[in-house]
Chains A and B, each alone.
Chain A
Amino acid sequence: MSKSDKMSHAIGNIDDRFLLEAMESCPRRKLHRGVRIFGAVAASICLLVGLAVWGLRGENGFFTVYACESDQQLTIVCKTNIRVAADTQRQEVQTVLEQYFDKLYATMLEESNADYSPNDFASINGYIVAKELVASRYTYHTLLGGIHEVDLKEVTIEELSNQDDHLEAAVYVTCAFSYGDNGETSLGENGETSMGNLYRVTLEKSGEQYKVTDLDCDSITILMAKESILKGKAEGNDADAYRRTDAYFQQIQKNADIMLETQKNF
């Protein structure tokens, strides 16, 4: 996620009073407004930035070949080595994440009985994400005949940063899945799932391999769940937050039961 995205997200979470204040100031606008075309400007900027980045890369590559001539060139060789190490690390993390999300999304499958405990994640965030998948499995089972196939389409590391003792990754994940009594309906086909979700994943080194220890997600269902569950966090202890998470998703499952009853009555 870019810094401006982070800023935009932070602004997105500002208190309701600011939103109400802006909303209540009487707008006086015309119904039809011309839409300005920014494409050409954006394309020019992208082209310039692209050329600059390409130029820089080319320069580094050049100095790598003629290294050992001066301190400056040696520094560049070191930088290149660091970059190679970073690429290797990224590749390693990519494999771990693909395996992890494959397993995590399989939670939604009809035949799965996967469930999660607070011990599976370093914080409540990961627990909420996992419990939401469990609740989805129940909702699809109750109302739509269950999910029969999950296909992980994309796991893209958008950002990877080394913290003191762990790695933080921003990962964009898209998946397609089919549901229904015969598994005929594929959400992937009509593009509904192609938007995917952005996850923030924490990884720690476990022996030779990296291991996912926690995750968070920008999905709207998760954001809504967190808003409700963590509202009273300051008043309660952590165990309460985990209990509230369970209660929240039990209610979501109950909603599915109620909807089924309503459908039957019709």
Chain B
Amino acid sequence: MEDSKIIELFFSRSEQAITELAYKYGGACKKIAFNILRNPEDAEECVNDAYLGAWNSIPPQEPNPLITYICKITRNLALKKYRYNTAQRRNSFYDMPLSELEECIPFDKGNSNPCTEDDLTEIIEEFLDTLDKKSRIMFVKRYWYAEPVKSIAEEFRMTENHISVKLLRIRNKMKVYLEKKGVVL
């Protein structure tokens, strides 16, 4: 079913909207949640909560594209659950992408104010536009979709080591870019 039809179902408050949403995008959502949480039950719970989030917010929202909307909700919920799990020391998988991101944090010279998250997003988007398509996809897959290096390697038909080195170079580039832009976190 087309996204616009699913949105129409939401607007008419038909529960079939959830069924269609789950049928069309359930797989993508489950994958994101599982990448972050590494626990099928937690991932399933997250995805169901994401459907509920969509049900409660459409209308008034009329998301286009629908897939990124539902994926964003899922990612946010999964990160929240991850945070809860790690507070209880129950999961440390997502620590890896997080610790990798730490390498991109620019050196704080102590003479400027921390930039806002919105500004940081804008600068990261600018940076992503400077990358070639392949590197950009690798970066987004690793740090947005939280995909394991092994899975990215399979997709690009490269070795895990090769992907790790590529990601390292991208992170180094990003650090330099952020420092050039005067970003302080």
Contact = CB atoms under 8 A, between A and B. Distances in A.
A228 B13 contact: no
Nearest to A249: B60
Interface in A170-229: 194-196, 198, 218, 220-221, 223-225, 227-228
Contact of B38 (A35, A42, A255): A35
Interface stretch (B16-24, B140-148, B161-169): B140-148
Given A220-B73, A223-B76, A258-B13, A7 B155 contact: no
A29 B152 CA distance: 8
A5 B105 CA distance: 11
A228 B117 contact: no
Contact of A25 (B61, B73, B125, B137): B137
B13 A29 contact: no
Interface range, B side: 35 or more
Interface string B34-64: 0000100000000001000100110111000
A251 B61 CA distance: 10
Contacts of A6: 117, 120, 185
A198 B93 CA distance: 21
Contacts of B67: 20, 23
A13 B79 CA distance: 13
Interface in A30-65: 30, 33, 35-36, 38-39, 42
B77 interface: yes
A117 interface: no
B97 to A, nearest CB: 8
A196 B72 CA distance: 19
Contact of A27 (B53, B144, B155): B155
Given A7-B101, A39-B92, A220-B77, A195 B128 contact: no
Interface of A: 3-16, 18-23, 25-30, 33, 35-36, 38-39, 42, 163, 194-196, 198, 218, 220-221, 223-225, 227-228, 247-248, 251-252, 255, 258-259, 262
Interface of B: 13, 28, 38, 49, 53, 56-57, 59-61, 65, 67-68, 71-73, 75-77, 79-81, 83-84, 92-93, 95-99, 101-102, 104-105, 113, 117-118, 120-121, 124-125, 128, 133, 136-137, 140-141, 143-145, 148, 150-151, 154-155, 157, 185
